[in-house]
Structure 1
Amino acid sequence: MAWGNIYLIAAIAVIGGGLFGFDISSMSAIISTPQYRCYFDQSPDRSCAGPRPDVQGGITASMPGGSWLGALVSGFLSDILGRKRAIMAGAVVWVIGSVIVSASQNIGMLIVGRIINGFSVGICSAQVPVYIAELAKPSTRGRLIGAQQWAITWGIMIMFYISYGCSFLDGPQAFRVPWALQMLPAIGLFFGMIMLPESPRWLARKDRWEDCHAVLALVHGKGDPNNPFVAREYKDIKEMVEFERQNADVTYLELLKPNMINRTHIGVFTQIWSQLTGMNVMMYYITYVFTMTGADSTSALLLSSSIQYVINVVMTVPALLFVDRWGRRPTLLVGATFMATWMFANAGLLASYGEYAGPEGVNNTPEASTRISGPPAKAVIACTYLFVASFAPTWGPVSWIYPPEIYPLRVRGKAVALSTSANWAMNFALAYFVPPAFVNITWKVYILFGVFLVAMFIHVFLMFPETANKTLEEVESIFLDPHGIKGIGTPAWKTKVNHKRILDVERHGSVAGEGEEVETKGITGGSVEERRIERQSSGERSTGDEKKI
């Protein structure tokens, strides 16, 4: 008997996101320890300086490199095996990678293990949001998918403190023990997923209609197959699947067709921009930042760094509570504004009050290329913490929530996989190039990310429509609105949040006085040329300029 509580389902599934968090801090907390730097030392005089900056960039980047491939493959796995079994496969791969990483005898073996770990993270990070999106109600979908980001923050914090505790061990045990302990959450994920239901929308695509209806009743009707919302969801899913039947065989090329290219670019850029905020750079290389500000011991570095991980966990909570009321657009816009402020502030502080530390950097750390002290150093630390506090409730969770919401069922698995692969491709590039960037362009790294944040604000305002509090089927009508902009649909800045309406739908199956009309036109060569879904309720109107759904 499968478990039907959606919060329990999400709590187990998002452990897949926690694996990413474990990996981030298992590297960021360890790269500054003498045990790691001596064991993998590449300095000519064997001074325990650790791997060369470019090699350390390659070690760090090997995980997102594997994740890029895993995310792309996950689209096929998910469509063939189902969302649930694809996530379980990712958990198995993680255990294999962790065994290799914890047993690493040299840099090459470490990189191979991290690539395998990354392959697992790519699968889970792409398909966990899809799985939750296809099970959750519209009014709670944002917080439940966003729980993946919260799991990532918990994984980061827990693994950081485990790594910090193990840093007091002698020799290689200081990094082998935490790397081995990474296996435990994946084992829990595998066995926990056994008890969870499959996605009802995936079951529908496989013509397993009785199973689809049973899962909807279990999750949304407390076992009652006659629940009004269950009946409505089942009807919407059936209409959508029947409508898309001629498009059953989907390839990645489908995402580049005229009726899909706008959504594809939005989903891909959601993930690209989430990386270009600079947040994961902060996570991977935060010890370099604190070295610049004068933290001169391993303990001081790790304790200073750990504060941002606590901030990350705590500040993600407001998003989980309110993102479905706030909406996706305002959350992304506010986040970009605040993060740009802190990035430019750090650049100004380092440029005005810092001094170049020479090619060997601060404390023999070339990446810590700027020395700053006194009140300006404290201001840099404060801006770094404020940056994390701005990312955590905004781009952190919404970058996972948004892509699964904007794609139709027939392409959702592969489309979210492609979007997530863009995240990992950018993660790989940044992880590899940021250490040399700190060496070569020093404080200008912050200017670079500040410019990216301004660009993403403009892009979101013009192109990212609101998807909160709409069923996945209703989101279709935003992009295929025949009265909107050709190839785009309803203009993004005219889309709104209507929390009260969706609560009425979930409680009663419909809004009083609501009429529904579903028109499908022009199915040519298996692609949808035009589809319009109109849902009008009392007090709502739809015109050529504005459409409220």
Structure 2
Amino acid sequence: MIGNIYIITAIAVIGGGLFGFDISSMSAILGTQQYKCYFNQGPDGPPFNDSKCSGPKADVQGGITASMPGGSFVGALLSGFLSDLLGRKKAIQVGSIVWCIGSILICASQNIGMLVVGRFINGLAVGICSAQVPVYVSELAIPSMRGRVVGTQQWAITWGILIMFYISYGCSFINGTAAFRVPWGLQMIPAIGLFVGLLFLPESPRWLAKQDRWEECHEVLTLVHGKGDPQAPFVGRELREIKDMCEFERTNADVTYFELFKSKMINRTHIGVFTQIWSQLTGMNVMMYYITYVFGMAGLTGNTNLVASSIQYVINVVMTIFALIFIDRWGRRGPLIIGATLMSIWMYANAGLMASYGKAAPPGGVDNVPEESWQIAGAPAKAVIACTYLFVASYAPTWGPVSWIYPPELFPLRVRGKAVALCTSANWIFNFALSYFVPPAFVNIQWKVYVIFGVFCTTMSIHTFFCFPETSGKTLEDVEEMFFSGIKPWKTRVEFRKIVALEHGDVTDKEAAMHHEDVAAEKTG
């Protein structure tokens, strides 16, 4: 059994990479002539050398794209039950099997209906994995590394986007339907690797404790945190904290989703749900899905458009690295507030550039793509592209990873599986709405789309400051005490040094107890 947390994380976050594969397999393919002709809804269909194919209509393309997050919404809600019943690890394995089924249908799609069904099934898999991978990894990681390893899910998403984009770009030079069937088929490979890799990983010790499998729980803690020594100080402390929390939670009835809306839990539910909602309302995934439309408005066409779009994906991968290195020192609040503020600036800048220097596209849009109903040229167009890159660079080390790190840290063990499932489902329902409505929005309100997302980013920075407490540098049990203390969110702080000392046994049991008392006493400011 593998006990190295980095290897465990590397295997588990392949589940996040599946979402990345989906994003770029659609964004890179929807602009190709092969895709547009095969799924064409205009007067001209196959053969594939028909240069007049315009592809699916704007609302239909929105439905095709949105079918995946629609399935993810359902999958995320189901994942809470799966995770509590089967365990974190087996729930993720179920997701990998479902992904392969959906990918087979997508690869074999004969029409738009079959494509939508396949993408919906793929969405079920993404919903399961995206909800439970952060729970699984956060319950295995030591507190000082929790942000880093859970944030790796976002890095896996960025790598999935980048890898599949270049695969899809390369396949775009193939004649016929193989141009999109090959990348859609290849995306099964990481899911198979995920299923096999999980066979060699331990189950979450906190889930095992919840099932009264204490011997196995101790073995996993020894394997992952004690380097084989069951008497390691941190292993003993962690086991005691888990036992104390489980004893407290046994006084509560069986957990349902309704418990998340009771008076003692509603604040945490609101924070977790809005973390995921705001991560979508930044506009980032819109940029990822429809970046070829945005750059088309800026005058980029064909391969130039695709290459320029891929630069955005490279920026996403590189900038996420900073979060993996520093996020546990930075905390959660700071990156969320700063990231939202910067993103609002770039959105407003793009809106101003489009409004001041752009103009309505001719009938039929740019290059016969109706979604590109606005166009801008020259230096202002280059500025739009630059602001888009800066937007991605602002999102990647902030809202990207923190939106996955934060929700699992907010909730106690008894509700964590269902709570994170609910939070993640909020992500996917807003992803669904945006995927569906953005193509028509580009047609109907054009550059004003940027204003809308700029306002969202401004609002989320204010909301975060007043409502989101700091969870970095605390054990999952400490976070529980912090919420009971009633401290104001803007008075909470990162406690990275304290938790590192606790993990390495550089403090006595008395000092460890004082650390937990400090967390509980933060209500005094």
TM-score, with length taken from structure 2: 0.97
Aligned counterpart for 2:496 among listed residues 475, 495, 499? 499
Question: Retained in 2: the 8 A contact 1:134–1:199?
Answer: yes
User: Is 1:535 the counterpart of 2:514 in the alignment?
Assistant: no
Query: Unpaired segments of 5 or more residues in structure 1?
Result: 482-488, 518-532
After superposition, the Cα gap between the structure-2 partners of 1:216 and 1:515, relative to the gap in structure 1 and judged at 3 Å, is: closer
Q: Secondary structure at the match of 2:370?
A: coil
* Corresponding residue to 1:191 among 190, 196, 210: 196
Question: Contact 2:492–2:522 (CA<8 Å) still a contact in 1?
Answer: no
Cα 1:253–1:293 change in 2 (3 A) is same
- Identify if the C-alpha distance between structure 1 residues 261 and 383 changes in structure 2 by more than 3 Å, giving closer, same or farther: same
Closer, same or farther in 2 for the Cα pair 1:322/1:534, shift >3 Å? Answer: closer
CA-to-partner distance for each residue in 1:315-366, whole Å, 9 max, x for gaps? 0000000000000000101100110000000000000000001441111111
Matched, 1:157 2:157: no
Equivalent position of 2:69 in the other structure: 64
With over 3 angstroms needed to count, the CA separation of the structure-2 counterparts of 1:356 and 1:215, relative to structure 1, is: same
Equivalent-residue separation in structure 1 for 2:126 and 2:523 (angstroms):
43
User: 1 CA distance for matches of 2:440 and 2:42?
Assistant: 16
Assess if the C-alpha contact under 8 Å between 1:359 and 1:439 holds in 2: no
Instruction: Specify which of 370, 393, 400 is matched with residue 374 of structure 2.
Output: 370
Matched with 1:140 is: 145
Q: Per-residue CA shift, 1:125-169, capped at 9, x if unaligned?
A: 000000001000000000100000000000000000000000000
Distance 2:457 2:506 in 1: 41
- Residue of structure 1 aligned with 2:455, choices 441, 451, 457: 451
SS of the equivalent of 2:311 reads helix
Matches of 2:517 and 2:365, distance apart in 1: 62
SS at match of 1:516: helix
Structure 1 distance, partners of 2:8, 2:336, is 26
Shift of 1:513: 4.6
- Alignment pair present for 1:181 and 2:178: no
Does the Cα contact within 8 Å between 2:74 and 2:425 map onto a contact in 1?
yes
Instruction: State the partner residue of 1:530.
Output: none
Query: Who is 2:415 aligned against?
Result: 411
1:388, distance to aligned residue in structure 2 (A): 0.4
Amino acid at match of 1:340: S
Q: What residue number does 2:226 align with? A: 221
1:44-79 per-position Cα deviation (integer Å, ceiling 9, x unaligned): 354310000000000000000000000000000000
| Residue 465 (structure 2) aligns with | 461
| Aligned 8 A contact 1:228 1:509 in 2 | no
For the 8 Å contact 2:481–2:520, the answer to whether it is kept is no
Asked if 1:116 is matched to 2:116, the reply is no
Partners of 2:502 and 2:512 within 8 A in 1: no
Match of 1:282 in 2: 287
Does 2:108 match 1:103? yes
How far residue 511 of structure 1 moved from its aligned partner, in angstroms, is 5.1
The match for 2:54 among 46, 49, 53 is: 49
Using the TM superposition, name which of 319-328 and 507-516 deviates more: 507-516
Instruction: Give the alignment partner of residue 313 of structure 1, picking from 310, 317, 340.
Output: 317
Map of 2:474 onto structure 1: 470
1:369 Cα deviation from its structure 2 partner: 1.2
Q: Which residue of 1 aligns with 2:49?
A: none
Rate the CA distance shift 1:384–1:68 in 2: closer, same or farther, 3 A: same
1:363, 1:504 → 2: CA distance? 60
Instruction: Report the Cα distance in structure 1 between the residues aligned to 2:347 and 2:64, rounded to whole angstroms.
Output: 26
Q: Is the 8 A contact 2:17 2:153 kept in 1?
A: yes
In structure 2, what residue type is equivalent to 1:393? P
C-alpha contact 2:16 2:153 (8 A) present in aligned 1? yes
Deviates more, 1:507-516 or 1:239-248: 507-516
User: Conserved in 2, the CA contact under 8 Å of 1:501 and 1:511?
Assistant: no
SS where residue 274 of structure 2 aligns?
helix
What is the Cα-based RMSD across aligned positions, in Å?
1.3
Q: Could you say which residue in structure 2 is the equivalent of 1:84?
A: 89
2:7 aligned partner: 8
Amino acid at match of 1:209: W
Instruction: Write out per-residue CA displacement over residues 161-211 of structure 1, whole angstroms, 9 at most, x where no aligned residue.
Output: 000000000010000000000000000000000000000000000000000
| Corresponding residue of 1:230 | 235
2:32 is aligned to 33
State the Cα distance separating 1:514 from its structure 2 match. 1.7
1:247 Cα shift? 2.4
1:391 corresponds in structure 2 to 395
Q: Deviations over 1:79-120 (max 9, x none)?
A: 000000000000000000000000000000000000000000
Shift of 1:478: 1.4
Q: 1:248 to 1:220 in 2, by over 3 A?
A: farther
State the shift of 1:372 in Å.
0.5
In the alignment, does 2:193 pair up with 1:172?
Answer: no
Partner of 1:348: 352
8 A Cα contact 1:229 1:509, kept in partner: no
- How do residues 235-246 of structure 1 correspond to structure 2 at under 5 angstroms? 235-246=240-251
| Structure 2 gap segments, 5+ residues each | 46-51
Q: CA deviation at 1:541?
A: 9.8
Task: Name 2:511's counterpart in structure 1.
Answer: 514
Kindly state the Cα deviation for residue 516 of structure 1 after the two structures are TM-superposed.
2.9
CA contact (8 A) 1:25 1:156 kept: yes
Q: 1: CA distance between counterparts of 2:363 and 2:219?
A: 64
How much does 1:509 deviate?
A: 7.0
Deviations 1:415-463 (A, max 9, x none): 0000000000000000000000000000000000000000000100000
Q: How far apart are residue 534 of structure 1 and its match?
A: 4.5
- Return closer, same or farther for 1:16/1:464 CA change in 2, 3 Å cut-off: same
For 2:315, the aligned partner's letter is I
- Describe how 1:322-333 pairs up with structure 2 within 5 A: 322-333=326-337
Asked if 1:251 is matched to 2:256, the reply is: yes
Give a deviation string over 1:355-407, Cα, whole Å, max 9, x none: 00144111111111111000000000000000000000000000000000000
Measured in 1, the distance between the counterparts of 2:116 and 2:253 equals 38
Relative distance call for 1:512 and 1:203 in structure 2 (3 A) is: closer
Match for 2:271 among 252, 266, 286? Answer: 266
Does the CA contact (< 8 Å) of 2:37 and 2:44 recur in 1? no
Using the alignment, how far apart are the partners of 1:436 and 1:303 within structure 2?
Answer: 25
Deviations 1:491-548 (A, max 9, x none): 100000121100110011745752638xxxxxxxxxxxxxxx9524xxx9946431xx
Instruction: Give the Cα–Cα distance (whole angstroms) in 1 for the partners of residues 106 and 14 of structure 2.
Output: 20
Q: 1:92 to 1:509 in 2, by over 3 A?
A: farther
Cα distance in 1 for residues equivalent to 2:237 and 2:159? 36
